[in-house]
Amino acid sequence: MHYDLHCHSTCSDGLLSPAGVVKRAAARGVDVLALTDHDELAGLGEARAAAREAGITLIDGSELSVSWHDDTVHIVALGIDPDNAELAGGLESIRNGRDARARRIGAALADAGIPDAFEGALTYVTSERLISRTHFARHLVDSGRARDMKDAFRHFLTPGKPGYVSHVWASLSQVVGWIHQAGGQAVIAHPGRYKVSSAQLRTLIGEFRDLGGDAIEVVSPSHTPAQYVEFAAIARAFALKASCGSDFHGPGESRMDFGDLPPLPAGVDPVWSAW
Ligand code: AMP
Ligand code: MN
Ligand code: MN
Ligand code: MN
């Protein structure tokens, strides 16, 4: 069985519709797919219908934005009840902060000599419910301010760069609580991507585990093969399960496509072991 438990659609910052995501995943050999749009569940109905049509299993998911000290951390939710009111309310509260944040990003870029960034980003938004840095990055690339998405983030949208603004998302304990109230599992997304020391990363993982967190992503395009081994060992050491996901955002825009994920390293407990 091929599991891919992290990807995005046009309901957040992906390029394909929820049905398009599911069809592509099925065509490329994924058997069990979680759609995990940022702070959003709105694509799950369409994805579920498409999964039934394609004969694959859809896991109801989301990727929640968390502020942990001065850093942003992403927590993937898997197997949640999309009708759970606490989770839906929590996600709405996270999304609601995005519009004002995007205006601040636009103002910061205007100060840096790019006057049209907010309006430009809006033309890339595919859900009126959600604007993200990805939409700014697409505009910066297509208007010739950056070579590619990576370049746009590196020069404009990451901490210390002109279009980066700090923002307070939900707390780790809130997010783990909402996910569990909705009957799901909480997974630390791409732990290798956070710009923290290895001691801080262990503190984060320990706090997450103590809050009842369930798993960490071990196999992710944000990780090197050496990190697959490293995070497999951390999962075992912290008695957390292990997950894997392509974090697919769209053809030509993602490091890994559906079907490209290598298997989890041996000796970990897969997040799906009790499904
Ligand atoms: P936001 O939730 O608005 O802060 O946007 C976060 C999203 O930006 C991530 O989910 C990625 O899709 C995208 N992103 C962050 N860093 C990079 C990068 N270096 N290259 C490409 N995309 C990135
Ligand atoms: Mn994204
Ligand atoms: Mn993420
Ligand atoms: Mn993601």
Residue with the nearest Cα to atom 17 of ligand 1?
Answer: 153
- Ligand 1 binding pocket includes 180 (Cβ within 6 Å): no
- pLDDT for residue 16: 98
Ligand 1, atom nearest to 134 Cα: 8
pLDDT band at 60 (very low <50, low <70, confident <90, very high): very high
Instruction: Tell me the mean pLDDT in the region 11-32.
Output: 98
- Give the atom of ligand 1 at the shortest distance from the alpha carbon of 158: 16
Q: Is the CB of 249 under 6 A from ligand 1?
A: yes
Q: pLDDT grade, residue 256 (50/70/90)? A: very high
Is the minimum distance from the CB of 150 to ligand 1 under 6 angstroms?
Answer: yes
Q: Which two tokens stand for residue 241?
A: 């399960």
What's the 134 CA to ligand 1 centre distance in angstroms?
6
The pLDDT, as a whole number, for residue 20 is: 98
Average pLDDT over residues 204-211: 98
Structure tokens at 100: 């004002």
Mean pLDDT of the chain: 98
pTM: 0.98
In whole angstroms, give the CA distance from residue 136 to residue 158.
12
Would you place residue 57 in the very low, low, confident or very high pLDDT band (cuts 50, 70, 90)?
very high
When pLDDT is cut at 50, 70 and 90, the band that residue 170 belongs to is: very high
Give the torsion sign (CA, 205, 208, 209, 214). negative
